[in-house]
Amino acid sequence: MPLPVLLISILLFFVLFFGIGFLLNMLLRMTWIMAFIYPLVAILIVDKVKLLDYFTSPSASFSSLGTSISNLAAADLIILSSGLVGAVAAGFTMRVLRKKGYRMF
């Protein structure tokens, strides 16, 4: 993957999940909601198995998930981890804003 594409992807995933986490927090008033939801979103991005298959045939689905994660390139792992950092940063931002007295957050 070319370096400019990697840098733009990292920034995009960080901003995207920071924004989603920020908005979910304002709507649901749960600080760490996106940090807990993000691993599920990452699994849905990485794995090609349908969500229902995790309940109907869990052994094959989790086996497929393990091989999918182990086959990821380093660039893909960096991009996905930047999304997690964005989700966690949204939680910390909400805590700071609440501590400073902003009630709508």
Written as tens digits, the pLDDT of the chain (105 aa) is 899 999 999 999 999 999 999 898 888 888 888 888 999 889 888 988 888 888 999 999 899 988 999 999 999 999 999 999 999 999 999 999 989 988 775
Read off the pTM: 0.83
**CA pair distance 98, 5, nearest whole angstrom:** 36
The parent domain of residue 29 ranges over 3-99
Q: Is there a domain that residue 105 lies in?
A: no
Q: Is there a domain that residue 17 lies in?
A: yes
Q: Is there a domain that residue 104 lies in?
A: no
Q: Is there a domain that residue 60 lies in?
A: yes
Q: Is there a domain that residue 29 lies in?
A: yes
Q: Is there a domain that residue 78 lies in?
A: yes
Domain count of the fold of the chain: 1
Q: Is there a domain that residue 34 lies in?
A: yes
Using alpha carbons, select from 34, 39, 41, 36 the residue that is nearest to residue 18. Answer: 34
